[in-house]
Chains A and B, each alone.
Chain A
Amino acid sequence: MGLFIVKRLLWIFPVMLGIAILIFTIMYICPGDPAAAILGIGATQIQIDQKRAELGLNQPYIVQLLQYLKQVFLELDLGTSYFYRTPVIDGLMSRMHYTLILALTCMALQILIGTPLGIMAATHRNGLADRFCMIVALAGVSIPGFWFALMMVVFFSVKLGWLPTYGVGGIQYYIMPCIANSFAGIATQARQTRSSMLEVIHSDYISTALAKGLSDREILFKHALPNALIPIITVVGNGMGMMLGGAVVVENVFSIPGIGNYMMSAINSRDYPIVLGGVLVLGIVFSLIMLMVDIIYAFVDPRIRARYEGKKRGKLESA
């Protein structure tokens, strides 16, 4: 298991390299000029050219790319913001906790609400509870998060005045952003839980458990759910990716000063180092989460554990 984790951690580097090349290229192709953005509308072409030379933007694509990769992967430096003139890493780290709070809360909501909804739907298949859960889930996957966020603002803040419309502070500031960002995740989680529970409920070992005289509760929690968890865990991992991505949108709607907000304004002002640095940091976070998902897999499913350990049968006692 230890070896597996080390291997997976090492794999993060090539993944990061791929992300860096991809994002750098996309930003390079994108129209817009950072130099012009920094200098403002009044700048002359000469000033702009000077600025471009200063930022190294007049170099050919391949030289710029290699320079950036060297700076990030060899010097472990994400660079300095064109606009703020502060190190990108500081800007990201000072905003990180807002994004993480948002994403992790949403994650928790997805698991704690979506899973029971799915179980309820599966155990009451075609009943009222099932119909209700599936309608909520359908709404969840269909409604775009940003639109839902705006509608909540209109209703709860503007009409009722219950919740603040934007900013950060106490827990009340996080209620709407979290609901908006986790609704789709809850829905996906409920649907996946339902279908994977239904599949498991019809498998032979559930008949075996029934034939042993176990109660419905025991069958559900000892036999059905642990097996159904395996595909559910995948959804949780992917969900985390969606939450991080969704945070970028939701932070902007609610003006939460997290990484998403930071990156969004950087995209508008063509502040390449921030965009690239933000994506890389989120990429590392996501890779670590996927690693955790794989470790949880191994914890749940002994077959996967055996594969990770690469041992012959009969050597699993210590696992």
Chain B
Amino acid sequence: MPHNKSDAFLSVQGLAVEYSSSGEVIHAVNGVSFDLKKGGTLGLVGETGAGKTTIAKAIIGILPRPPANVSAGEIFMNGRDLLKVDNAQMRKVRGKEISMIFQDPMTALNPIMRVGEQIAEAIFRHEQVTKKQAEDKGKEMLEMVGISTERYREFPHQFSGGMKQRVVIAMALACNPSLILADEPTTALDVTIQAQVLDMIRSLKNKYGTSMLMITHDLGVVAEICDDVAVVYAGEIVESGSKEQIFTSPKHPYTVGLFKSLPDINSDMERLNPIDGLPPDPSNLPAGCSFGPRCPNFSPKCQDHIKLKDAGNGHFYRCW
């Protein structure tokens, strides 16, 4: 994807991440590039195992090493390559400039630590405050996500799933980060709670002008909250563009398939339309287009390397 570094707030270029386990190398992310505008929201859409979470973890620098290894690429935030920042400096970035909302609120909180303390901990770590001030700020954050300050000293098991996710969000926003990585923040929640949490994320994000990378497999979430979309398949971006472009004129067969598989409430449809086949084994990716084996328009030339094609106005796709 062509880009202009000065204009993007976050710019990921050619990122590749591998996991090695017992001699086998798993290519989780293969040359991913995307830009995120200041204050914008980019949706990273794809199936489970497509490498979305790995991308986010690489950005915030918490990939477990070993087994993970960033084999190529650059991650620029405000012009600084985060992959070149040493660990001590990176700790000051984590939680302060970049924070992450995790997928499963049930397990994302330390079960034996008071929720308030878990929020205050990040504040105390990054801001020049006393413990007391950190606690006050922690209470303020709880109120902001709609939880009474009386519950500051309670433990995670006393909270429902939706409330835990609010705590996780309060924790992520505590130090007023400029970038939030939201890793499927609503997947583990009830549908009714999903809408609440999404609304809250959106309003808080708008209030503070935070940029956000929204990782999801739910196109509904994308429609709700994102400005731009990048579709990830087998560790590669197969199509990217504005939400309108992707939703109204998807170009890549995988994106087309994703939209086709959505049930339409107006049509009298009896069965869903899934994409046939399974995602490729990341330790043994097919040559050329990794979607090839499942593609309805497969032809021999798909086995060559395929470059991104420009559909105009910032809409790109990786197909003939």
Which A positions have Cβ atoms within 8 angstroms of B? 202-205, 207-215, 218, 222-223, 226-227, 300-303, 306, 313-314, 316-317
Interchain CB contact (< 8 A) of B94 among A210, A226, A301, A303: A210
Interface contact A210-B107, CB-CB below 8 Å: no
Across-interface contacts of A302 in B (CB, < 8 A): 111-112, 155, 157
A205, A306, A316 — which one has the most chain B CB atoms within 10 A of its CB?
Answer: A205
Interface contact A205-B107, CB-CB below 8 Å: yes
Interface contact B108-A213, CB-CB below 8 Å: no
**Distance in angstroms between the alpha carbons of A204 and B104 in the assembled complex:** 8
Known: A208-B171, A214-B91. A317 touches B109 (CB 8 A): no
**Distance in angstroms between the alpha carbons of A202 and B64 in the assembled complex:** 9
CB distance from B39 to the nearest CB of A (A): 21
Across-interface contacts of B57 in A (CB, < 8 A): 207
Across-interface contacts of B111 in A (CB, < 8 A): 205, 227, 301-303
**Distance in angstroms between the alpha carbons of A316 and B157 in the assembled complex:** 12
CB distance from B305 to the nearest CB of A (A): 34
Across-interface contacts of B153 in A (CB, < 8 A): 316-317
Known: A211-B94, A303-B155, A316-B154. A205 touches B110 (CB 8 A): yes
Across-interface contacts of A215 in B (CB, < 8 A): 91
**Distance in angstroms between the alpha carbons of A196 and B94 in the assembled complex:** 27
Across-interface contacts of A209 in B (CB, < 8 A): 110
Interface contact A213-B155, CB-CB below 8 Å: no
Can you report 29 residue pairs joining A to B where beta carbons are below 8 Å apart? Answer: A203-B107, A204-B102, A204-B107, A205-B107, A205-B110, A207-B102, A208-B100, A209-B110, A210-B62, A211-B60, A211-B102, A212-B94, A213-B94, A213-B122, A213-B126, A214-B91, A218-B125, A222-B121, A226-B112, A226-B113, A301-B111, A301-B112, A302-B111, A302-B112, A306-B158, A314-B151, A316-B153, A316-B154, A316-B155
Known: A300-B112, A302-B112, A313-B154. A212 touches B62 (CB 8 A): no
Across-interface contacts of A227 in B (CB, < 8 A): 110-112
Across-interface contacts of B107 in A (CB, < 8 A): 203-205
Across-interface contacts of A300 in B (CB, < 8 A): 112
CB distance from B123 to the nearest CB of A (A): 10
Interchain CB contact (< 8 A) of B157 among A211, A212, A306, A317: A306
**Distance in angstroms between the alpha carbons of A126 and B102 in the assembled complex:** 29
| In the complex, chain B residues 124-183 whose Cβ is within 8 Å of any chain A Cβ | 125-126, 150-151, 153-155, 157-158, 168, 171
CB distance from A310 to the nearest CB of B (A): 14
Interface contact B110-A313, CB-CB below 8 Å: no
Query: Is B217 at the interface (CB under 8 A from chain A)?
Result: no
Interface contact A211-B99, CB-CB below 8 Å: yes
Query: Is B43 at the interface (CB under 8 A from chain A)?
Result: no
Told that A203-B107, A211-B94, A316-B154 touch, could you supply 19 new A-B pairs with CB distance under 8 A? A204-B104, A205-B107, A207-B62, A207-B102, A208-B171, A209-B110, A212-B121, A212-B125, A213-B96, A222-B121, A227-B112, A300-B112, A301-B112, A302-B112, A313-B154, A313-B157, A313-B158, A314-B151, A316-B155
Interface contact A211-B62, CB-CB below 8 Å: yes
**Distance in angstroms between the alpha carbons of A302 and B156 in the assembled complex:** 9
Interface contact B60-A214, CB-CB below 8 Å: no
CB distance from A318 to the nearest CB of B (A): 10
| In the complex, chain B residues 204-239 whose Cβ is within 8 Å of any chain A Cβ | none
CB distance from A221 to the nearest CB of B (A): 12
Interchain CB contact (< 8 A) of A303 among B100, B104, B157: B157
Interface contact A316-B112, CB-CB below 8 Å: no
Across-interface contacts of B126 in A (CB, < 8 A): 213
CB distance from A315 to the nearest CB of B (A): 9
CB distance from A174 to the nearest CB of B (A): 36
CB distance from A212 to the nearest CB of B (A): 4
Interface membership of chain B positions 72-116, coded 1 if the CB is closer than 8 angstroms to chain A and 0 otherwise:
000000000000000000011111100110101001111111000
**Distance in angstroms between the alpha carbons of A204 and B118 in the assembled complex:** 14
Known: A204-B102, A301-B112, A303-B111. A211 touches B155 (CB 8 A): no
A210, A314, A317 — which one has the most chain B CB atoms within 10 A of its CB?
Answer: A210
**Distance in angstroms between the alpha carbons of A295 and B208 in the assembled complex:** 46
Across-interface contacts of A211 in B (CB, < 8 A): 60, 62, 94-95, 99-100, 102
